[in-house]
A and B are shown apart, each in its own frame.
Chain A
Amino acid sequence: DAKTTQPNSMESNEEEPVHLPCNHSTISGTDYIHWYRQLPSQGPEYVIHGLTSNVNNRMASLAIAEDRKSSTLILHRATLRDAAVYYCILSSGTNAGKSTFGDGTTLTVKP
């Protein structure tokens, strides 16, 4: 699986937008970009995924660069409950449940 690179940590103030970057320069044409987040002592939770076009859902937005070599997860108004480790993952194989996790970005939200 192609690798992704994310900053180790980021901080945000509550109720402000957060932009979490991810680099995936070796992405292939069939790779989907997935984002998951993990709270302490819980399994990862799906956030959003996309292929080429930007995507929006109730949790977040995903902005994908035109060359697809990078993407940005956008949390429009961070809350304390958004504090988690965010993982950017590429998935194209036979099953989306099989993922190669990098170190992710630890997001701290300050009140």
Chain B
Amino acid sequence: GAVVSQHPSRVICKSGTSVKIECRSLDFQATTMFWYRQFPKKSLMLMATSNEGSKATYEQGVEKDKFLINHASLTLSTLTVTSAHPEDSSFYICSASPGQGGTEAFFGQGTRLTVV
């Protein structure tokens, strides 16, 4: 079946540095991908919609300058956490689907970001 691959699975960075997370659709083209954030023992929260060839759409309360999204090709979206701080530590997950509501969605393995 279709697979969405996310990299890295785990990253530790120092406060003030930036971290880039990649999300790839391996066997289908994804004009749209989605980024979620998940805190411990909480559910997934949609952060933004990544649109190939255009600007990302951010959910209310998500800082677009803090979480930079680039969707440069039909199979790759990147999320860059800029000037990371300890409160940005979280589990970040991307998703993509080859279709609409009647199609299954595929999620990446997730990236555990720890900012020290």
Contacts and interface: CB of A to CB of B under 8 A. Distances in A.
Partners in one complex: yes
Interface of A: 30-32, 34, 36, 41-46, 49, 51, 87, 91-104
Nearest 6 pairs of A and B residues by beta carbon: A43-B107, A92-B101, A96-B97, A97-B97, A97-B95, A91-B101
Contacts of B93: 43-44
A51 B96 contact: no
9 contacts: A42-B110, A43-B107, A49-B102, A49-B104, A51-B102, A96-B102, A97-B30, A100-B46, A104-B43
Contacts of B32: 94-95, 97-98
Contact of B100 (A45, A93, A104): A93
Nearest to A98: B34
A22 to B, nearest CB: 14
B91 interface: yes
B44 interface: yes
A108 to B, nearest CB: 14
Contacts of B45: 101
B-side binding surface: helix, strand, loop or mixed?
strand
B112 interface: yes
B102 A103 contact: no
B4 to A, nearest CB: 8
B49 interface: yes
B115 interface: no
A101 B107 CA distance: 13
A87 to B, nearest CB: 8
B105 interface: yes
A43 B6 contact: yes
Q: Which of B95, B105, B109 has the most CB of A within 10 A?
A: B105
A30 B100 CA distance: 11
